[in-house]
């Protein structure tokens, strides 16, 4: 009996490519899953894959692409991205892995994004400086660790939907992203949407639903 059952109808049902969680799967399991996607002619996106595991997968299936910063693998033809429709903001370079996961997930759906890195509120002038560049982007994703204030400040400055991603970065009481998550959930900025800790993929899918709904 197969150890996995792919949701190959997800694109037809929801308009979303199935993403496979790779962190707790062996290289052999990932290889089997990727080959099933390949046989079905469906784009394969596998998240949370470290370098050693990615190397083992690529040795078995050379066509697999390793997106190192995003810690993801893809297999299959990627759609041509649109003009940028999502703004991706992060507090600092430590948040870039989560931002890159969101960026890649959007790319898998033909959605282009524009990065605004290192605009955390410790230097508020950096965020204020990029506000004019955010105006044409219909949806924004804000990734931040520490206390997670970036999302609240951003949602208080711009009219677009803002999706907040708490990141597991910070000293002591940051508690692996718990402080950022609590701060974002308790935000006084009305309408701020919050996803789980480090869930760049989930933020990207929320943005995709918003864009399609609009």
Range of the domain at 203: 86-213
Query: Within this chain, do residues 19 and 109 fall inside the same structural domain, yes or no?
Result: no
Nearest-angstrom CA–CA distance, 61 and 78: 17
Question: Do the beta carbons of residue 151 and residue 160 sit within 8 Å?
Answer: no
Residue closest to 200 by CA, chosen among 177, 172, 183, 179: 177
Clarify whether residues 51 and 136 are in a common domain. no
Confidence of residue 61 (pLDDT cuts 50, 70, 90): very high
Count CB atoms within 10 A of the CB of residue 73: 25
Handedness of CA 13, 19, 20, 23 (dihedral sign): negative
Report the C-alpha gap between 165 and 202 in whole angstroms.
9
Q: 21, 55, 75: which is the final residue of a domain?
A: 75
pLDDT at position 1 is: 43
Q: What is the pLDDT of residue 83?
A: 83
Report the alpha-carbon distance of residue 7 to residue 13 in Å, rounded: 10
CA proximity to 152, closest of 182, 116, 178: 182
Classify residue 97: in a domain, yes or no. yes
Read off the tokens for 196: 């789980």
- Tell me, yes or no, whether 55 and 147 share the same domain: no
Question: Rg for the chain (alpha carbons), in Å?
Answer: 18
CATH number of the structural domain spanning residue 184: 3.40.50.1970
Please tell me whether residues 66 and 139 are part of one structural domain: no
Residue 3, domain member (yes or no): no
Chain CA centroid to CA 152, Å? 19
Q: Stretch 151-180: mean pLDDT, rounded?
A: 95
Which CATH number belongs to the domain containing residue 27 in this structure?
3.30.110
What domain count does the chain have? Answer: 2
Q: Are residues 145 and 205 both part of a single domain?
A: yes
Does 81 fall in a domain? no
pLDDT given at position 208: 95
Co-location of 68 and 99 in the same domain: no
Residue 14 Cα to chain centre, angstroms: 18
The residue out of 75, 98, 121 marking a domain boundary is 75
Spatial contact of 185 and 194, defined as CB atoms under 8 Å apart? yes
Residue 4's pLDDT band (cuts 50, 70, 90):
confident
Is 180's pLDDT higher than 50? yes
Beta sheet of 193-194, edge-to-edge order: 113-116, 86-90, 139-144, 162-166, 193-194
d(C-alpha 28, C-alpha 13), whole Å: 29
Residue 129 has pLDDT above 70, yes or no: yes
pLDDT at 78 (0 to 100): 93
Residue finishing a domain among 26, 48, 75: 75
- The pair of structure tokens assigned to 95 is 């948040």
- The whole-number average pLDDT for the span 183-191 is 95
Instruction: Give the pLDDT mean for 116-127.
Output: 93
The pLDDT-based confidence of 12 (bands split at 50, 70, 90) is confident
Residues 18, 114: one domain?
no
Q: What is the mean pLDDT of residues 176-193?
A: 95
Q: Are residues 39 and 129 in the same domain?
A: no
| pTM of this structure | 0.92
């Amino acid at each position: 009996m197969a150890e996995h059952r792919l949701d190959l109808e997800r694109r037809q049902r929801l308009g979303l490519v199935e993403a496979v969680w790779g962190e707790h799967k062996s290289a052999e399991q990932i290889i089997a899953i990727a080959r099933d996607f390949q046989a079905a002619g469906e784009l394969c996106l596998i998240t949370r894959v470290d370098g050693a595991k990615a190397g083992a997968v690529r040795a078995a299936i050379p066509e697999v692409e390793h997106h190192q910063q995003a810690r993801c693998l893809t297999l299959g033809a990627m759609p041509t991205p649109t003009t940028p429709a999502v703004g991706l903001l992060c507090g600092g370079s430590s948040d870039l892995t989560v931002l890159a996961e969101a960026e890649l997930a959007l790319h898998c759906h033909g959605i282009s994004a524009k990065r605004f890195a290192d605009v955390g509120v410790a230097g508020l002038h950096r965020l204020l400086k990029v506000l004019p560049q955010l105006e044409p982007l219909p949806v924004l994703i804000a990734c931040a660790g520490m206390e997670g204030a970036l999302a609240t400040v951003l949602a208080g400055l711009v009219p677009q939907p803002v999706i907040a991603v708490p990141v597991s970065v910070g000293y002591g009481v940051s508690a692996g992203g718990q402080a950022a998550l609590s701060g974002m959930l308790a935000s006084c900025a009305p309408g701020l949407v919050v996803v789980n800790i480090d869930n760049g993929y989930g933020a990207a899918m929320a943005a995709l639903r918003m864009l399609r709904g609009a």
